[in-house]
Amino acid sequence: MSTSAATGGDVVYWDPYRPDLGKDPYPTFKRLREEAPLYYNAEYDFYAVSRFADVEACLGNHETFISGRSDIMEFMREDMEVPKGMFIWEDPPEHTAYRAVVMRVFTPKRMNALEGMIRDYCVRCLDPIAGNDRIDFIADLGGQLPGGVIGMLLGIPDEDRDAVRDQVEASLRTEEGKPMELEQANLTGENYEEYIDWRMKTPSDDLMTELLNTEFKDATGTVRKLTKEEVLIFVMLLAGAGNETTSKLIGWMGKILGEHPDQRREIAADRSLVPAAIEEILRFEPPGPSVARYVAKDVEVLGQVVPAGSVMLNLIASANRDESRFTDPELFNIHRRDPPHMTFGRGIHSCLGMALARVEGRVVMEEILKRFPDWTVDTDNAQLSSSSSTRGWDTMPVFVG
């Protein structure tokens, strides 16, 4: 096992805060898989698994590796109280009961049914810039579409969506080289309170109204409706989890397709390649590169005991490049015939919004390629941000043509 004690030597070192490592973490991940598949970082006191099978096993074992102290390493350190209904940070039976409430909502069939609406929104973003010789995948699209779609689903009025996005982004951003601060995260959902009150009085056919009216069996077995506080938290969670991640997917699309013109032209010529191309972008650069778990009891991992109370980081981005699962994993190849990636997590907490993210990704790729079959990334002006929980572009300007 490696520790940070020997930083100067050639012992592998990694933490999610160093900007130099965040820029291109993949050589380090490769070394972790080879040299320290169970890695311990003494400086920040966390463990990390990096091979596909180990990450899959850890995320599949929700009794030992729990989510009840959040899935963000920094938050685990502080005795954070997770609000009821923030089911991404809860364990069974609460997690099961809450997730069941929205399980039906984000399924493949329902999300595909939204395709037309998503396409309209996308077209509204793209048509005004159709003739431009420069576009920005984030400013023009990634920063707008995902929040807009979630907002439409929930019934949040258009003009307030930007404020919602800005708040979520601020709550998740880390200053370069620094861990996240818990106080940053506004977990009360105050911003949405007005809507809830309004929706209680004026029901509509949106998700917010559905959340207010659906009966479910809670963790104690009582059949009831969600409280107003729980609805607030749900809305926060859905808006938070569905926004920045999907925005980052769109940014990576600009970056990766910009750098692989041959494959981009192939997709433009044959749209049936779009779904596979989305999967390959998701594998190659996952918007959420790692998720953390709290170790609830002593557990043996790769022959070593990881004590109760530890923090375990699951390096999804590394698992996605594990050479024992993927052929030439460091190559971007939309034609690969490997088993699927792990970008949406695994186990009971695997992404609720994956079908939505995929539909959005597909629509965006189609509509972009229709209008802009060729572009080059403006590397000098593209800004990367990287934290323990998200990694992607804040700006992704490109030269069209």
Partner 1 sequence: MAKITYIARDGETLVLDVERGSTVMRGAVDNALQGIIGDCGGACSCATCHVYVDPQWYDKVGEIGATEEILLEEVCDPQPNSRLGCQITITDDLDGLVVRLPEKQV
Task: Give yes or no for a contact between 91 and 62, defined as CB atoms under 8 angstroms apart.
Answer: yes
Residue written as token pair 């699962």: 325
Partner touching 249 among ligand HEM, partner 1, none, CB below 5 to 8 Å by kind: ligand HEM
Q: Is 351 in the site for ligand HEM (CB under 6 A)?
A: yes
Q: Is 59 in the site for partner 1 (CB under 8 A)?
A: yes
Residues whose CB is less than 8 angstroms from the CB of residue 135 and which lie 6 or more positions away in sequence, other chains included: 129, 372, 375, 397, 398, 400
Q: Is 33 in the site for partner 1 (CB under 8 A)?
A: no
Residue 22: both structure tokens together = 């965040």
- Touching partner 1, residues 345-364 (CB under 8 A): 345-348, 350-352, 354-355, 358-359
Residue 273: both structure tokens together = 């390649």
DSSP 218-262: -TTS-EEEPPHHHHHHHHHHHHHHHHHHHHHHHHHHHHHHHH-HH
Query: What is the total count of residues that contact partner 1 (CB under 8 A)?
Result: 30
Q: Is 207 in the site for ligand HEM (CB under 6 A)?
A: no
- Minimum distance of partner 1 from residue 94's CB (angstroms): 15
Q: Is 137 in the site for ligand HEM (CB under 6 A)?
A: no
d(CA 75, CA 108): 32
Partner touching 379 among ligand HEM, partner 1, none, CB below 5 to 8 Å by kind: none
Among 106, 121, 195, 284, binds ligand HEM (CB under 6 A): 106
- In one-letter notation, the amino acid at residue 27 is P
d(CA 91, CA 212): 23
Nearest partner of 388 among 78, 88, 177, 166, judged by Cα: 177
Q: Determine the interface stretch with ligand HEM among 6-14, 123-131, 240-248, 272-280 (rule: CB under 6 A).
A: 240-248
Among 28, 343, 386, 388, binds ligand HEM (CB under 6 A): 343
Q: Print the binding letters for residues 98-137 with partner 1: x by CB under 8 A, - otherwise.
A: -xx--xx--xxxxxx-------------------------
Cβ neighbour number for residue 179 with a 10 Å cutoff: 18
First vs last C-alpha separation in the chain: 49
| Site residues, ligand HEM (CB under 6 A) | 67, 71, 87-88, 99, 106, 237-238, 241-242, 245-246, 249, 286-288, 291, 343-345, 349, 351-353, 356-357
| Site residues, partner 1 (CB under 8 A) | 56, 59-60, 99-100, 103-104, 107-112, 275, 337-340, 344-348, 350-352, 354-355, 358-359
